[in-house]
Amino acid sequence: MIDLMKNDVWSEADIANRARETVASVVSEARQNELRTIMIGHVASLRTATADELAEIMRVKTLVETADDNTRAARLDMALLKSVMALERANVRLSLPVVEDDETDTAERAAAQAIVDSASTAVCELCLLRNPAPTPVEVIK
């Protein structure tokens, strides 16, 4: 769901909306509400759900569980992407020339270095995938 090679930041609402849209693309919100009512009535012994209704309820339950799994994966991916983007910014900051006797520069460099020092292996690996080293150009003689 999250493209880790892009800088598209998804909010929690974006992730949740995507999950709802995924389920709603297969079963409308109205039908989901009907199935909830059927299931509540069935569990409370107020009505007996048909075999077809129970099968449809199970299909929706499976869709929702898959959407929940995708939501958890998207949250993890988004956390990873945000960490990679922070590492990329830190690397850019550290690549800039040092400004002598500048407390702001010193503080920014220290903060950037702390991000680099604390980056996990997964963050570093994805950062390398997103920012491959340039291949050397063949020297023309």
Q: What is the pLDDT of residues 22-56, one digit of tens each?
A: 999 999 999 999 999 999 999 999 999 999 999 99
Instruction: Answer whether 23's CB lies under 8 Å from 64's CB.
Output: yes
Residue 4 forms part of a structural domain = no
If DSSP codes are grouped into helix, strand and coil, which group holds residue 2?
Answer: coil
Q: Give residue 137's identity as a one-letter amino acid code.
A: V
Residue 6 forms part of a structural domain = no
Residue 82 forms part of a structural domain = yes
Residue 124 forms part of a structural domain = yes
Domain tally, the chain: 1
Domain that holds residue 98: 12-130
Residue 106 forms part of a structural domain = yes
pTM for the whole structure: 0.81
Residue 53 forms part of a structural domain = yes
pLDDT of residue 18: 95
**Cα first-last separation, the chain:** 48
Q: How confident is the model at residue 21 (pLDDT cuts 50, 70, 90)?
A: very high
